[in-house]
Amino acid sequence: MALDPTTTGVLAAPETAQHRRNLPIAGEAEALERARAGDPDAFSILYGMHKRRVYTLCLRMLGNVTEAEDMTQEAFLHLFRKINSFRGESAFSTWMHRLTVNLVLMHLRKKGLTLISLEETMNPSDEDSIRRDYGSQDPLLAGAVDRLTLERAVAQLPPGYRMVFLLHDVEGFEHNEIAEMLECSTGNSKSQLHKARLKLREILRHSPASAEILKRKETEP
Amino acid sequence: MNPADAPHPDSGAVDSLNIDTMTLAEFEHYLPHFFAAYNGRISDNPRFAKLLAAYPDCAALVRDLEYIAETARNLLEPADEPSDAVWSGIQSRLQSVVPEPEPQAPALEPKK
């Protein structure tokens, strides 16, 4: 049975993330109305309004420009096909995000990528233990990480960690929603997120941009 | 029991845990659940004050992880732009795309 990415496995995003996404875009409601009536120019307007968000989301989830562009194209074509099923129960951008996330996840499953390794999650290796992080006298990361540095660090995460981190910490989905999307338990989602943040801490501490600031903090009186 | 073997608690169970008497290993096990239960922020939660004061390196770790999560929120705003080829590809396929009709609510069965 063909899965429908507009509905499959994704519940409403939490209010905070919705709120951040739901800021009204001038002309969006009118463009939507015209698109529903079959006006091709309206599709162009909607594409212009949402292309960057959709593409950025695809690129972060896939880590590959070609695949991200292909999925962006698929997401908008799917949107045009399903435009009449948007009922305005959530903001259009939230609906578009859900649709995109589900399309990307379906794409990854087709490629045979295991999004969450249950075995790995239930039996964390010593490498993943946070205990190794205790005992260090390093200065705090606070103030040492800018957007670009974090973006680069996120790109270095293993795919499973990156997916949960993006869905939870960036996109604002709750663990129960992520569990449904990724077909894992909520405990699994929490565990993967925690490991993702630990891994990011390790990457950030060693990134040249952060390391320089941390070094300065260390020598400050 | 090894803390790593303990079951994942639900949010109600997290509330009932005695944090003050926890070992570091137990705290490590429950940390992902604490973050989830307290909206990603525990460093300024009085429940954790005693434990975090006793283990400063653990407190530093918690604050770093909170900072990473907070900084991640800035990434919601888009950073990249697709190439023009994406819209060209959409346009070329758009002609063959027919919007599906609005889904109809299932008809109610007549009352008998």
Residue A205 within any structural domain of the chain: yes
pLDDT in tens, B70-106: 989 888 777 789 999 999 999 998 887 777 777 666 5
Residue A3 within any structural domain of the chain: no
Q: What letter would DSSP give residue A143? A: T
Question: What ipTM, to 2 d.p.?
Answer: 0.77
Separation in Å, CA of A27 to nearest CA in chain B:
20
Does the pLDDT value for residue B23 go beyond 60? yes
Q: DSSP letters of A154-198?
A: HHTS-HHHHHHHIIIIIT---HHHHHHHHTS-HHHHHHHHHHHHH
* Domain identity same for A67 and A28: yes
pLDDT of residue A128: 47
Residue of A88, A72, A118, A102 lying closest to A3 (CA atoms): A102
Q: Which residues in chain A (140-199) have CB-CB distances under 8 A to chain B?
A: 140-142, 145, 147, 150-151, 154, 165, 169-172, 175, 185-187, 190-191, 193-194, 197-198
Tell me whether residues B99 and A172 touch, CB distance under 8 A: no
Q: How many domains does chain A have?
A: 2
The CATH number of residue A67's host domain is 1.10.1740.10
**Between B43 and B108, residue with greater pLDDT:** B43
Q: Which residues of chain A have pLDDT under 70?
A: 1-24, 113-138, 210-221
pLDDT in tens, A97-154: 889 999 999 998 888 766 655 444 444 444 444 445 554 556 777 777 788 888 889 9
Tell me if the pTM is above 0.95. no
pLDDT of residue B46: 94
* Domain identity same for A125 and A90: no
Of B61, B78, B100, the CB nearest to A133: B61
Where among A110, A132, A161 does a domain terminate? A110
Tell me whether residues A150 and B71 touch, CB distance under 8 A: yes
Where among A94, A110, A126 does a domain terminate? A110
Q: What is the pLDDT averaged over residues B13-25?
A: 85
Separation in Å, CA of B38 to nearest CA in chain A:
13
Q: Which residues in chain B (56-75) have CB-CB distances under 8 A to chain A?
A: 57-58, 60-61, 63-65, 67-69, 71-75
Where among A53, A77, A110 does a domain terminate? A110
Q: What is the pLDDT averaged over residues B42-67?
A: 92
Tell me whether residues B82 and A55 touch, CB distance under 8 A: yes
pLDDT of residue A107: 93
Q: DSSP letters of A55-114?
A: HHHHHHHH--HHHHHHHHHHHHHHHHHHGGG--SSS-HHHHHHHHHHHHHHHHHHHTT--
Domain limits for position A196: 118-216
Tell me whether residues B75 and A82 touch, CB distance under 8 A: no
Q: If you search the block for the tokens 């109305």, which residue do you land on?
A: A33
pLDDT of residue A59: 92
